Amino acid sequence: MAHAHHKIDTHTVDFQVDPVVLELGRRFVDAGHELSLVGGPVRDLFLGRASPDLDFTTDAAPDQTVKLIKKWADNYWEIGRAFGTIGMRKAGFQIEITTYRADAYDPESRKPVVAFGSSLTDDLLRRDFTINAMALRLPTLELVDPFGGVRDLHDSVLATPGPPETSFSDDPLRMMRAARFAAQLGVSLREDVREAMTRMAERITIISAERVRDELVKLICAAHPRVGVDLLVDTGLAEFVLPEVSALRLESDEHHRHKDVYQHSLQVLEQAAALETGADGSVPGPDFVLRFAALMHDIGKPATRRFEPGGAVSFRHHDMVGSKLTSKRMKTLRFDNDTTKAVARLVELHMRFYGYGEAGWSDSAVRRYVTDAGPLLERLHRLTRSDVTTRNQRKADRLSFAYDDLEARIAAIREQESLEAVRPDLDGGQIMALLGLTPGPVVGRAYKFLLEERMEYGPLDPADAESKLRAWWAAQPEAATPASSPAPTATIAPAGSSGVALSTTEES
């Protein structure tokens, strides 16, 4: 293959190289070394995108790199030294300089065996895709493109510098990266790349869950997540990464009595992403929690599918089953607890609205909806609206109008009372003071009773709350039993001011 070396023509390629890049290049060249800007930052120059992270490659050994940059950089670190990488910050840029590599990989290992090389072309050969295997020699700005990266970028094709089998054997995570680049850049996979991914999909299992998770997050948050997910499923990678999504491809029975749950889920993902609001809105995009909940919301359907008498298909409790499956999958992929709980909770709540349009809700039901969603309410609004993919415009309009009405009801109730954290009108300390109790399960029951009253009837003034509490207490078996120890003497403080811990609490 002929090597392509071009001097960048800034009249035909609309970009400017930051002076920091040229200055660093001169330092290395003046010391007798080579330095090139490489990989993603070069690709992004052609795409007209800014890149705050700059990757360089050099023939200098890590010791020589440190010597050249330690007084020049704002600060530097040597965490990646064993892999030939020195990191630093300079003028707001995060920079990594890596010694030319000629990696040797153990096919059964998750990590490369590092071997340093001496050739820029050999270094580019070991990179994942041709669009990332381009370099700018510094400070001359000579483009080195031995594998046709510019051509493939122009044609929106994802190809590998060498045989794709070699690339994916070296690092199987590159198969996930292929799907991610398709989602981010809108490129299509060259046929040999797609075929290699399909044949080698099982090799993804030797990659750590954390690395797979990070690529999945980037894919889901990309401009075209549907394309990336579809690639994972079509090549079989999803069987090992997100098997619950692959399982959504339910075979239609001969009477076509249910819609394609898989395509529906992809459409909901797409529609949810379109409903994100900008940086000043309540759900700034891209929002992984909303998008992943949209993808996973129906994964409980295969396990709950039933063919009813008369030909109907039901998926009873698929929301609850799907929530548990989502949580399990995210734990396997090593997601943090907060993200896992948020996505699983949205999956659990995604069907809650559907009773509203049919029967209408009391104020109590609206309060419970808001309280159960908690800080996820804005995401739940968007997920529920996205979960309408019917081609029946009348049905779609009816559901949309019903949800408009629900949001208006929430706004109206919010004007009268705080719905953000519904609590009883009396707190634990007040309950104990009024009833002469010490901390224990009975206080928790009283708290739960007042919470139910608050949900059902809205805020009460302290006198009415006290009256209801005393009436409830009179009917309790413990009311006839003296307290095991004297009740604490306390002045009734405003609700929410007590720090008393209850032994029994109700998670709203």
Task: Pick the more confident residue, 251 or 493.
Answer: 251
Neighbouring C-alpha atoms within 13 Å toward the C-beta of 214: 6
Q: Phi then psi for 143, rounded to 5 degrees?
A: -80, 125
Give the pLDDT confidence score for residue 314 in this predicted structure: 82
Is pLDDT above 70 for 493?
no
Per-residue pLDDT tens over the stretch 142-156: 999 999 999 999 999
* Residue written as token pair 């300089």: 97
DSSP codes of every residue in 323-339? HHHHHHHHHHTT--HHH
Give the pLDDT confidence score for residue 357 in this predicted structure: 53
Give the pLDDT confidence score for residue 489 in this predicted structure: 40
Per-residue pLDDT tens over the stretch 46-89: 988 888 899 999 999 999 999 999 999 999 999 999 889 999 99
Per-residue pLDDT tens over the stretch 95-136: 999 999 875 556 665 555 667 878 999 999 999 999 999 999
Give the pLDDT confidence score for residue 434 in this predicted structure: 85
Task: Judge contact between 263 and 248, C-beta under 8 A.
Answer: no
Pairing of strands 112-113, 157-158: unpaired
Is pLDDT above 90 for 193?
yes
Per-residue pLDDT tens over the stretch 77-88: 999 998 899 999
Is pLDDT above 80 for 419?
no
Q: What is the dihedral of CA 426, 427, 432, 434, to 10 degrees?
A: -20
In angstroms, the CA 479 to CA 458 distance is: 27
Give the pLDDT confidence score for residue 229 in this predicted structure: 98
Per-residue pLDDT tens over the stretch 303-348: 888 888 877 888 889 999 999 999 999 999 999 999 999 999 999 9
For the chain, give the mean pLDDT: 85
Residue from 39, 58, 225, 37 nearest 142 by CA = 37
Is pLDDT above 70 for 430?
yes
Q: What is the percentage of the chain residues whose pLDDT exceeds 90?
A: 55
Give the pLDDT confidence score for residue 503 in this predicted structure: 36
Give the pLDDT confidence score for residue 54 in this predicted structure: 95
Give the pLDDT confidence score for residue 106 in this predicted structure: 60
Residue 469 CB burial class (10 angstroms; 0-12, 13-18, ≥19): buried
Q: Mean of the pLDDT values across residues 220-238? A: 98
**Residue ranges of the alpha helices (H) in 70-143?**
120-125
Q: Mean of the pLDDT values across residues 391-415? A: 84
Q: Sketch out the chain's domains with CATH numbers.
A: 5-155 (3.30.460.10), 165-241 (1.10.110.30), 246-416 (no CATH), 423-508 (no CATH)
Name the pTM for this structure. 0.78
Give the pLDDT confidence score for residue 270 in this predicted structure: 97
Give the pLDDT confidence score for residue 136 in this predicted structure: 95
Give the pLDDT confidence score for residue 116 in this predicted structure: 81
Is pLDDT above 50 for 508?
no
Q: Output the CA–CA distances (angstroms, integers) from residue 215 to 77, 167, 209, 220, 429, in the order listed.
A: 25, 17, 10, 9, 49
Q: Categorize the per-residue pLDDT at 207 as very low, low, confident or very high, splitting at 50, 70 and 90.
A: very high
Q: Output the CA–CA distances (angstroms, integers) from residue 34 to 30, 60, 118, in the order listed.
A: 9, 7, 10
Give the pLDDT confidence score for residue 11 in this predicted structure: 37
